Amino acid sequence: MDNRATFNSRIGAVLAAAGSAVGLGNIWRFPCETGAHGGAAFILLYIGFIITVAVPVLICEMALGRRSRTNCYATFKRLSNSREVSVSKPLALLFYLTGAMCVLAGFVLFSYYSVVAGWTLGYTATAGVGGMMEMTVEETGRAFAEFSSDPVMPVVWLVAFVIITAGITVMGVQKGIERGSKIMMPVLFILLLVLAVCSLSLPNASKGLEFLFCPDFSKITTDVALSAMGQAFFTLSVGIGCLMTYASYFSNEENIVKDAFNIAAIDTMVAIVAGIIIFPAAMSVGINPDAGPSLVFITLPNVFNQAFGATPWLCYVVTLLFYLLLTMAALTSSISMLEITTAFVSERFGVRRRNAVAGIAIVTCVAGFACSMSFGEWSGVTVFGMGLFDLFDFFVAKFAMPIGGIFMCLLMRKFGEKEVTRMLTNDGRIDLGCFPKVFSFLVSWVIPVLILVIFVNELL
Ligand code: PHE
Ligand code: NA
């Protein structure tokens, strides 16, 4: 406890948290969900959920983590037993279960996330040897279908990605997580902007913008609502103890409320810019925006080929940089996922960080292998009508995160308005006006009920 790690600087802490938030969720899952659920109307709902649900839950999560200064399972356990709160036996059990579910979800998430991250790594290598130049839409489409359903290559890249993640995580909070984020995040922002300009200059770009910004409200159903809420949770890394774990390394001077809004703003901007890159590009080369997980891997190579076909070296550089950065975005997120389970295993069982990371990485590769196979030979194996990959994603984004969010609110509520105010204002050192009051009310009643209603509605 005493010499537990902390982040070195404010900017380091915020960038690490933003690094966790900004990832494949923005550049791959967001366009994919938006495409599948009708475009602009989905985006409006999603932004609504970010502001009214995900950010408040994020604040709870960080406040709880910083207070307990331990892994997410122990946070639920310790805080629900602490002297400031009184929790009945059955509710205490539910808090324990939530803590355990967070650890499990962190593991499940890391496994399937690494599959897609492995693809990005593989594409980086292909782009690096110039293997993606001068391909037509059909060719990139076929290449992706062949690659992702192959039993060997995606798994090799998956394992490589897990090893890189583990390598950074092993280096620890300051030298690994913080330093990695500080280098990778700024580069990512610059490249996103460059790519957005490229995409907007393509013919027919306006059709993509229309899809992105002109809502058709008839498309909203309960399924769309749950998906929008799931995406809001997913993209901010909220509800499974990830930022709870990071916040346990925050200093006592960190302004959690301000950080939460900053993280949400950065993350939302990156998602919208990713949409501006991908949809105009997809429309321009005639690919349907609901193409699913393959969107980023099929449309973008074409965008680059069309936009820069005349200057091959530029095309080469841009394509390579894009996949490199996608991989980096995935990395800053995957280290945060691995940190959930690493903190838990090393603190709960008293094993060394290095051994915890190695053990988790091995199990992750096995689970990731099964996920990867669900795109190929095992595509027929379904549970609740979903392949393994989709099932994992469903469990994390549409089950564990909303449920985790509800219990984080409930635990916060147990502390009462006065204590909550102290947590958010760092014992009164920050002036937040009436925010803590409003916040207490929202997380005590409105938000848990809202999450529950949407959740139950969809499952019925
Ligand atoms: N927020 C990350 C993304 O958008 C995914 C993530 C979820 C990371 C939960 C950590 C925990 O890609
Ligand atoms: Na995100």
d(CA 406, ligand 1 centre) in Å: 18
Residues near 142 by beta carbon (within 8 Å), at least 6 away in sequence: none
Q: Report the nearest-CA residue for atom 10 of ligand 1.
A: 237
What is the average pLDDT value for the chain, to the nearest integer? 90
Q: Is residue 293 in contact with ligand 1, taking CB distance under 6 Å? A: no
Q: What is the 3-state secondary structure (H, E, C) of 241-307?
A: CHHHHHHCCCCCCCCHHHHHHHHHHHHHHHHHHHHHHHHHHHHHCCCCCCCHHHHHHHHHHHHHHHH
d(CA 9, ligand 2 centre) in Å: 22
Separation of alpha carbons 439 and 62, rounded Å: 14
Please tell me the predicted confidence (pLDDT) of residue 7: 86
Q: Which tokens belong to 9?
A: 């600087």
What would the mean pLDDT of 67-93 be, rounded to a whole number? 93
Residues near 72 by beta carbon (within 8 Å), at least 6 away in sequence: 65, 99, 102, 103, 106, 240, 241, 242, 244, 245, 340, 343, 344
**Helices 401-424 and 256-284, interaxial angle, to 10°?**
140
Q: Which tokens belong to 164?
A: 């890189």
Structurally, how many domains does the chain consist of? 1
d(CA 27, ligand 2 centre) in Å: 8
**Does 237 have pLDDT greater than 70?**
yes
Separation of alpha carbons 395 and 137, rounded Å: 33
Range of the domain at 58: 10-459
**Rg over CA atoms, the chain:** 21
Distance of CA 85 to the CA centre of its chain: 31
Number of residues assigned to the chain: 460
Tell me how far CA of residue 127 lies from CA of 122, 191, 441, in angstroms: 9, 16, 51
The string over 278-301, giving b where at least 16 C-beta atoms fall within 10 Å of a residue's C-beta and e elsewhere, is bbbbbbbbebebebebbbbbbbbb
pLDDT level of residue 2 (50, 70, 90 thresholds): very low
201 half-sphere exposure, CB direction, 13 A CA radius: 10
* pLDDT tens column, 402-438: 999 999 999 999 999 999 999 999 999 999 999 999 9
Q: Could you tell me if residue 185 is inside a domain?
A: yes
Residues near 68 by beta carbon (within 8 Å), at least 6 away in sequence: 74, 75, 78, 79, 248
Q: Is residue 114 in contact with ligand 1, taking CB distance under 6 Å? A: no
Q: Could you tell me if residue 5 is inside a domain?
A: no
CATH number for the domain spanning 419: value is: 1.20.1740
Q: Could you tell me if residue 77 is inside a domain?
A: yes
Q: Which tokens belong to 448?
A: 């848990």
Nearest listed ligand to the Cα of residue 61: 1
186-194's contacts with Cβ under 8 Å and 24+ in sequence apart are: 187/325, 187/328, 188/22, 188/270, 188/325, 188/328, 188/329, 189/270, 191/321, 191/322, 191/325, 192/270, 192/273, 192/274, 192/277, 192/325, 193/273, 194/318
pLDDT level of residue 38 (50, 70, 90 thresholds): confident
Please tell me the predicted confidence (pLDDT) of residue 3: 60
Residues near 459 by beta carbon (within 8 Å), at least 6 away in sequence: none
**Is the ipTM above a cut-off of 0.95?**
yes
Q: Could you tell me if residue 299 is inside a domain?
A: yes
Q: Could you tell me if residue 295 is inside a domain?
A: yes
* pLDDT tens column, 200-226: 888 888 888 998 999 988 888 888 988
Q: Could you tell me if residue 279 is inside a domain?
A: yes
d(CA 268, ligand 2 centre) in Å: 8
Q: Could you tell me if residue 3 is inside a domain?
A: no
13 and 7 Cβ atoms separated by less than 8 Å: yes
* pLDDT tens column, 255-265: 999 999 999 99
pTM equals 0.92
d(CA 116, ligand 2 centre) in Å: 14
Q: Could you tell me if residue 2 is inside a domain?
A: no
* pLDDT tens column, 39-48: 999 999 999 9
Q: Is residue 235 in contact with ligand 1, taking CB distance under 6 Å? A: yes
Nearest listed ligand to the Cα of residue 20: 1
pLDDT level of residue 5 (50, 70, 90 thresholds): confident
Q: Report the nearest-CA residue for atom 4 of ligand 1.
A: 25
Nearest listed ligand to the Cα of residue 112: 1
Residues near 183 by beta carbon (within 8 Å), at least 6 away in sequence: none
Separation of alpha carbons 299 and 215, rounded Å: 23
